[in-house]
Structure 1
Amino acid sequence: MLFVVRLLLAISIIAEPLFVCTAQRRVATETDTLHQFESPILIAPPVVKSWYQGNLVRASVVPMLLIGCGVAAVGSHSAVGNYTIRQMIAHTLPGFRTHADDYLQYAPYLELGATALLGIQSRNDRINTLLVITKSELLMCAGVTTVKYTTRIWRPDGSAQNSFPSGHTAQAFLAASIVHAELRHKSQWYGVGAYAVAASVGTLRMLNNKHWESDVLAGAGFGILSAHLAYLSHRSRWGHRPGLLAGLHASPTWQPGGGVGMGLSWRAN
């Protein structure tokens, strides 16, 4: 009998911690009902883009490809090189002359202005669009002029030694890129029409015997690249951020003695 009592006492001593832990777990489970239906918050690791996925690479790959093709075509005698294309034009359309390319290079801007008059909303407001155009024109003029008078390549008609790249083509493709960027959210056909006009300008420069094929290809690249760089650098848009005086407030004041004045307060935004 004494053995049985001692055995039961030993079992109770051993089992007591287990019952206590189980009870504590039950109490914790029963009392912690506030968060039982919540889903755990998972924080995704930051996505690191590869170098070729950057905005600069994406904006420059097409124009740099055009410029590279233009450089490769300089002095080329291949089936699609400068001299072969020049001979085909001279044989097919001898004596061709037109001044249409002098005006068509700005035609995409007329398209942009016409859509503004018709009330079609562009990507940017008019002030910021003009700022982007100004920066694009400055970049294009600086790049084209520098390369022209560095390479000093003769024009096909021998009139001047500033053939590469084509300034008319660069201007036309710059304007077409602006139209495409500003209106593509409305319709892709605005950009298609503008690029068709730009391509016709490059073709007319070759038909007029003023530029080689290489000049036109590189000119298109310079124009597109200038527009893309202008948009990439235009991060802080004019008028889209509060100025220094945006937190300035004025209110009338009155003193018990009869004085009237104006109170000014300023709070940083």
Structure 2
Amino acid sequence: MKKQLYIWALLLTAICQNSCAQVITAVDSMVVVPTKSKPFNYKQFILPVTLMTYSIIGLESESIKSINSGLREEITEHIDKKITIDDFSQYAPALTVYALNNLGIKGQHNLRDRSIILATSYLLMTSVVLPLKNISHIERPDGSSYNSFPSGHTATAFVGAEFLWQEYKDVSVWYGISGYIVAAGTGAFRIYNNRHWLTDVTMGAGIGILSTKIAYWTFPYINRMFQRKNSQNTGMISPFYNGKQLGIGMILNTK
């Protein structure tokens, strides 16, 4: 079963890369392209694909499994009590984008456009995380369930971190860096709280980053589906997943 998962996950990564290239090519060929769209850069794949590849290899690698076990044993020996801040910090980077805008610090996109991008990111992330949890059937470190791989909290946090980076990196890189620090902290607390293995966290991080990057690359195409001439009201329904609950949020923009 693990060998089948290993092969399936590698194929998923390859298909994702190929699909992204095809989508971007289609977007570039459109007559109308938003002025804020930027050229596709394959180098941006390096970090998320590296994280995902490490995690996938870790499903079969005894050396990586020993790292998981050693880290868990080291942490559990020094844990006094659990800290559940990760249930809230996973949303902090994404919410920061809206908070900064409300403070008058403008990002790359307006409310409508950024909400479409964020919703697309969450949709892509959830469509990968949920099936992988069911297919991998990896037991959590605390033995509570068999849906450990990958970490949904971490994926959610890194979706927001990349979202914050993309929106505000041209204003100040420190906004994006702070978002990634919070996301990394969320993943660390998932390990600290004995809810995930290291490879669960790295896989969640890779999926989260890649999901948001794809959302930005494909936004010019997706935006065409949301354009409504002479419309004064816009809305967006955004799915979310925090590791236990799956739900939706709604954002309305009335002019």
Common fold: TM-score over 0.5: yes
**Residues 242/136 of structure 1: CA separation in 2 closer, same or farther (3 Å cut):** closer
Pair 1:210-2:173 in alignment: no
Instruction: Give how far 1:125 is off.
Output: 1.2
User: What is the alpha-carbon distance in structure 1 between the residues aligned to residue 192 and residue 40 of structure 2?
Assistant: 36
Q: Equivalent of 1:83, from 44, 69, 75? A: 69
Residue type of the alignment partner of 1:81: I
Question: Could you tell me how far apart the structure 2 residues matched to 1:99 and 1:195 are?
Answer: 19
Q: Distance in 2 between matches of 1:157 and 1:147?
A: 19
Separation (CA, whole Å) in 2 of partners of 1:209 and 1:135: 30
Match in the other structure for 2:115: 130
How do residues 209-228 of structure 1 correspond to structure 2 at under 5 angstroms?
209-228=194-213
* Deviation (angstroms), 1:77: 5.1
Instruction: State the TM-score, normalizing by the size of structure 2.
Output: 0.69
Q: 1:119 & 1:191 partners in 2: Cα distance?
A: 17
Return the offset for 1:72: 2.5
- Taking the aligned partners of 1:227 and 1:238, their CA distance within structure 2 comes to 15
Partner residue, 1:165: 150
State percent identity of aligned pairs: 36
Residue type of the alignment partner of 1:113? Y
Q: CA deviation at 1:243?
A: 7.4
Give the residue type in structure 2 aligned to 1:74: L
Q: Which residue of 1 aligns with 2:57?
A: 72
SS at match of 1:158: coil
Matched, 1:151 2:136: yes
Aligned equivalents of 2:176 and 2:158: distance in 1?
Answer: 10
Partner of 1:113: 98
Count of residues paired in the alignment: 190
Structure 1 stretch 165-174 or stretch 116-125: which is displaced more?
116-125
Paired residue secondary structure (1:116)? helix
> Does structure 2 retain, via aligned residues, the 8 Å contact 1:109–1:175?
yes
Asked if 1:181 corresponds to 2:136, the answer is no
Q: Does 1:59 align with 2:44?
A: yes
Distance 1:71 1:237, change over 3 A: closer
Shift of 1:244: 7.1
SS at match of 1:92: coil
For residue 233 of structure 1, what is the amino acid of its counterpart? T
Q: Secondary structure at the match of 1:98?
A: coil
Tell me the secondary structure at the aligned position of residue 155 of structure 1.
coil
Please report how far the alpha carbon of residue 117 of structure 1 lies from its aligned counterpart in structure 2 after TM superposition: 1.0
Where does structure 1 lack aligned partners over 5 or more consecutive residues? 1-53, 246-269
Aligned to 1:51: none
**TM-score w.r.t. length of structure 1:** 0.65
In the alignment, the residues of structure 2 paired with residue 230 and residue 238 of structure 1 have an alpha-carbon distance, to the nearest angstrom, of 11
Contact 1:59–1:229 (Cα < 8 Å) also in 2: no
**For 2:208 and 2:221, how far apart are their aligned partners in 1?**
23
Deviation at 1:227, TM superposition (A): 0.2
- Give per-residue Cα distances to partners, 1:104-123, cap 9 Å, x unaligned: 00011221122101111111
How far is 1:92 from its partner? 2.5
Gaps of 5+ in 2: 1-38, 231-255
Q: Which residue of 2 aligns with 1:8?
A: none
Q: Distance in 2 between matches of 1:75 and 1:168?
A: 23
Instruction: State the shift of 1:238 in Å.
Output: 4.4
TM-superposed deviation, 1:76: 5.2
Cα distance 1:87–1:77, how it changes in 2: closer, same or farther (>3 A)?
Answer: farther
SS in 2 for 1:120: coil
- One-letter amino acid matched to 1:90: T
Counterpart-to-counterpart distance in 2, 1:243 and 1:71: 42
Q: Which has the higher contact order (CA 8 A, sep 6+)?
A: 2
